[in-house]
């Protein structure tokens, strides 16, 4: 059976500065902004030698629209409570607090970001 994995993700935004401030505050990181023609992107820090996919915030008129419906992105965390503690102060809203999925899978939480996207967190503890 062939293994399939995520190679890249993009989170739609309406106001890039607001979205960057939100994600930098929640994940305590620095995003790297790039203008690629009419597309405005802010890349999350990513190390190709580690597991997981890289990704970006994206503003592209007519192509991307923030949504609470459709595909859900899960960000990995050491403990979802760390990021949850920053979400509302950064302008987001917690939708589901830290919830155990199962003892072997770990925990998850859901939030709305500053742009209106529904995003998830996952941690083993």
DSSP 51-63: SS-EEEEEE-TTT
Tokens of residue 106, six digits:
């770990």
- What is the reported pLDDT for 89? 98
- What is the reported pLDDT for 117? 97
Distances (CA, A) of 51 to 5, 32, 46: 10, 20, 10
Query: How does strand 106-112 pair with strand 118-123?
Result: antiparallel
Helix and strand numbers (H, E) in the chain are 2, 8
Q: What is the CATH number of domain 8-123?
A: 3.10.180.10
Domain ranges across the chain: 8-123
- What is the reported pLDDT for 85? 98
Mean pLDDT by groups of 10 residues along the chain of 125 residues: 83 97 98 96 88 90 91 94 98 98 97 97 95
Q: Which residues pair with 106 in a beta bridge?
A: 102
- What is the reported pLDDT for 52? 80
Say how far apart CA 32 and CA 81 lie, in whole Å.
Answer: 25
- What is the reported pLDDT for 49? 76
């Amino acid at each position: 059976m062939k293994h399939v994995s995520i190679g890249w993700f993009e989170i739609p935004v309406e106001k890039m500065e607001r979205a960057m401030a939100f994600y930098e505050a929640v994940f305590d990181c620095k995003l790297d902004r790039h203008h690629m023609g009419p597309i405005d992107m802010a890349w999350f820090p990513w190390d190709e030698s580690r597991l997981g996919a890289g990704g970006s915030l994206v503003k592209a008129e007519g192509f991307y629209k923030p949504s609470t419906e459709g595909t859900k992105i899960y960000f990995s965390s050491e403990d979802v409570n760390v990021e949850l503690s920053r979400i509302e102060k950064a302008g987001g809203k917690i939708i589901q607090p830290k919830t155990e999925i199962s003892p072997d899978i770990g925990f998850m939480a859901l939030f709305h970001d500053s742009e209106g996207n529904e995003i998830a967190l996952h941690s083993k503890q």
